[in-house]
Chain A
C-alpha cells in the first residue's frame, strides 16, 4: 500500500509544517538530501493556503515569500531561473520558455495581502523547512482559507494521523 503522506500533496497548517522533523535521507534513490517527517511519517510534498505577508523578488532568479495562515508563517521559494538553470538544459527549449512564462505570471500575482494556495516540495533552508513551489494560485473566494483549515484538520484526523495496515503482497 502506498504511503498516503509521501506520495501526495499533504494539506498542512502552518504550525504543523513548521514542526516537521528532519533527517538525512536514507533513500539512495532520493534526490533530496533531507527527509521530512510528520509524527514519524515521511512527507515530501505539501499544500498550504494563507495570506502573503512578505515578498522578495529577484528578477529571473526567484521569488521568496511568506504565507501566514494564522497558525504559522511558511517560507516559500519559487524559482524563476528556468532559462539559466542547468536543471532544464535537457528539456525542449520552447517548453522551458512556456514554463518560465507561466511561473513569472504566477509570481506576479503574489502580492502582499493576497491569499495564495501553494503546492510544492519540502526542502530545507538554513535548517528550517520551506516549500519549493511547484505552483501557486491566488484565491479569490474569501472562504477559501477557512475551507483549507477544515480540510487540513479533517485529513489529519482521518488520514495523516492514522496508521494504515500494510497490505499483504500479492504473490
Chain B
C-alpha cells in the first residue's frame, strides 16, 4: 500500500460503533481501544472490550505484536461488515497501551472532536 493511500484511523469508542453510526461501513479506517478479552492464535482473531461493548479484531497482519488477555490494546485498521451485521476490524497496526488512563482518553476524545468541528466550521465561515 502506498503511503498516500493510507487513511488515518478515525478515533472511535466501541460504544459509538453501532450499525446506526456513519462510521459503521465497510472499509472505514478506525482506531479502537479496549481490553483484550479473547484471542485465538489459530484464527488470528481477537476480541476487545470496553465496558459492555465488544469488537472482533482480525490480527493476522500483526506478526510482531504479543497479545495477552487482560492487557489494553489499540488497533488501527479497516472495518469489515459480515452479512449478519457483525463488525470486524482488520488491523494493520496494533500496540499495547497498558497504563493508559481510559477515563482521560474518552474525555479527551470528546474535546478533540469538538475542536475539530469548530475548526472545520471556522474554515467554512
What residues of chain A have their CB less than 8 Å away from a CB belonging to chain B?
Answer: 13-16, 19, 39, 51-54, 56, 64-66, 68-73, 75, 112-115, 141-143, 146, 149-150, 153, 156
Contact = CB atoms under 8 A, between A and B. Distances in A.
A56 B2 CA distance: 10
B10 A70 contact: yes
Interface residues of B, number: 33
Interface of B: 1, 3, 6-11, 31, 64-65, 72, 74, 76, 92-95, 97-101, 104-105, 108, 111-112, 115-116, 119, 122-123
Contact of A149 (B8, B64, B98, B112): B112
B97 A71 contact: no
A49 to B, nearest CB: 13
Task: State the main secondary structure of chain B at its contact with A.
Answer: mixed
B119 A16 contact: yes
Q: Which of A13, A70, A156 has the most CB of B within 10 A?
A: A70
Nearest to B5: A54
A14 B1 CA distance: 20
Contact of A143 (B1, B74, B99): B99
B119 A70 contact: no
Given A71-B116, A113-B93, 9 more contacts: A13-B112, A51-B76, A51-B95, A53-B6, A68-B9, A70-B112, A73-B7, A113-B65, A143-B101
A146 B100 CA distance: 9
A129 to B, nearest CB: 13
Contacts, number: 87
Given A53-B76, A53-B92, A142 B115 contact: no
A69 to B, nearest CB: 7
Contacts of A73: 3, 6-8
Nearest to A153: B115
A109 to B, nearest CB: 14
A142 B9 contact: no
A14 B119 CA distance: 12
Q: Which A-B residue pairs are the 7 nearest by beta carbons?
A: A70-B11, A142-B100, A142-B97, A54-B3, A73-B8, A113-B95, A68-B8
Contact of B93 (A16, A39, A51, A141): A51
A115 B115 contact: no
A14 B8 contact: yes
Q: Which of B98, B101, B108 has the most CB of A within 10 A?
A: B108
Contacts of B10: 70
A146 B112 CA distance: 10
B99 A75 contact: no
Given A51-B76, A64-B3, A70 B9 contact: yes
Nearest to B29: A68
Contact of B105 (A14, A65, A146): A146
